[in-house]
């Protein structure tokens, strides 16, 4: 393994949970999350030697992860899908915490990809400056968008599980 491969492997180890968090916001299906993770790794590897360090490594990993997942999500939504088991709840979970997390996840996934990205970064306890640097808007705009997104989430109903 050469030095570049070792550096990349170390970056993936350090930021694995970050990448999975982003992927999870775009799908709850484990196989699909794994596929998204693999796609992110490919994009990170392809851009690794172009990373110039103008932003933090964490910011770069988030940006690549979000852009990859948003791109795949857009392609996925342009293709028609068919539900196989309608009305069947294979994951009946009576745990209140899990139900609340599922409800929050269900609402967040209804948001447009850009807003979903902002919420994800906010949930990761990132500052408005960091969020702005990742998504390409001002910290003030992050603040305004988060306020609007929170209001939108409060008004949403959770989609039925499929």
Domains, the chain, in order of start with CATH, read 1-81 (1.10.1740.10), 85-162 (1.10.10.10)
Interval 99-154: pLDDT, tens: 777 777 788 888 888 898 898 888 888 899 999 988 889 999 999 999 999 999 88
Interval 63-74: pLDDT, tens: 999 999 988 888
Q: Give CA 118 to chain center in angstroms.
A: 9
> What's the confidence (pLDDT) of residue 65?
93
Interval 4-49: pLDDT, tens: 889 999 999 999 988 988 898 888 788 999 999 999 999 999 998 8
CA gap 123, 33 in Å, rounded: 19
> What's the confidence (pLDDT) of residue 86?
44
Provide the H-helix boundaries in the chain.
Answer: 3-26, 30-48, 57-78, 96-108, 113-123, 128-135, 139-155
CA gap 124, 143 in Å, rounded: 15
> What's the confidence (pLDDT) of residue 43?
95
Contacts (Cβ under 8 Å, ≥6 apart) of 103: 158
> What's the confidence (pLDDT) of residue 97?
63
């Amino acid at each position: 393994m050469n030095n570049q491969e070792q550096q990349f492997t170390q970056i993936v180890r350090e930021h694995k949970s970050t990448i999975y968090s982003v992927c999870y916001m775009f799908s709850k299906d484990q196989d699909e999350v794994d596929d998204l993770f693999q796609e992110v790794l490919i994009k990170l590897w392809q851009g690794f030697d172009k990373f110039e360090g103008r932003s933090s490594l964490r910011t770069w990993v988030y940006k690549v992860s979000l852009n990859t997942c948003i791109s795949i999500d857009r392609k996925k939504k342009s293709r028609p899908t068919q539900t196989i088991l309608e009305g069947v709840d294979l994951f009946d979970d009576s745990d209140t915490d899990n139900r609340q997390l599922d409800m929050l996840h269900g609402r967040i996934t209804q948001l447009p990809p850009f807003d979903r990205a902002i919420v994800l970064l906010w949930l990761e306890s990132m500052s408005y400056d960091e969020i702005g640097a990742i998504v390409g808007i001002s910290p003030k705009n992050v603040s305004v968008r988060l306020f609007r997104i929170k209001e939108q989430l409060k008004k949403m109903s959770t989609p039925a599980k499929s």
